[in-house]
Amino acid sequence: MPNMNQTEKPQASAVPTIARKQPTQQRSRERVERMLEAASALISEKGSDALKMSEVAERAGVPIGSLYQFFPDKSAIILTLAERYNAIGRECIGEALAGVQDMAGLESAFTELVDIYYGMFLAEPVMRDIWSGTQADKALRENELADSRIIGGMLADVLIRLNPEGDREEIATTAFLIMSLGEATMRLAISVGRDEGQAIVNAYKRMVLREMLAL
């Protein structure tokens, strides 16, 4: 099982795909990283609703024109940060599911993944802020839906491998639903107190495990 540091900041090995302009030179890539780091710090301090492009530029130490050169508005910055968190999650899920050999292994891997993901939400205020506002932002909703389809497909591949005689369409639909509900579960869990949130996460794990065993 991968060990995801709950305080790990999202990093990208590739240039953000949501940026208006793709930096090709090392200096430009470093400048974009400073912009995103500045935005993360401001979101952590004030929340994404209060994020201002002028403050991002000032915190990053870049001209405002340079910021707009790469990001047309603050939504593009937030969406880029959201996708980075998604990428971290997909990598973690992929590593965890790759070694699953039987249903008992899947149950163990899935349970630990849910706990890791919940821990990420609790530990990272920027991630928490972004996902709390996902339903109010069309671009973030579409980004989450696309991510749920990807990780749902990853889970479906494992379930089909463990149950090759099963109904593939039903498995695919169920896996997609499981991962989509996982996102909703995390939003609900972080909107209530810690004890109630943990109870909600535990209930989600029990429901999912029963459903996977029934496939």
For the residues of 167-188, what is the DSSP string, one character each? -HHHHHHHHHHHHHHHHHHHHH
pLDDT in tens, 74-125: 999 999 999 999 999 999 999 999 989 999 999 999 999 999 999 988 998 8
pLDDT of residue 135: 73
Give the chain's domains with CATH numbers.
26-72 (1.10.10.60), 82-214 (1.10.357)
pLDDT in tens, 186-209: 989 999 999 999 999 999 999 999
pLDDT in tens, 12-29: 433 334 555 566 678 878
Distance CA 36, CA 30 (A): 10
List own/partner pairs for 138-146 with CB under 8 A and 24 or more apart: 139/75, 139/79, 140/78, 140/79, 140/82, 143/79, 143/82, 143/83, 143/86, 144/82, 144/86, 144/183, 145/180
pLDDT in tens, 20-53: 556 667 887 899 999 999 999 999 999 999 999 9
Tell me if the pTM is above 0.85.
no
CB 32 within 8 A of CB 80: no
Q: What is the dihedral of CA 70, 74, 79, 82, to 10 degrees?
A: 110
Distance CA 42, CA 59 (A): 8
| pLDDT for 215 beyond 60 | yes
Q: What is the mean pLDDT of the chain?
A: 88
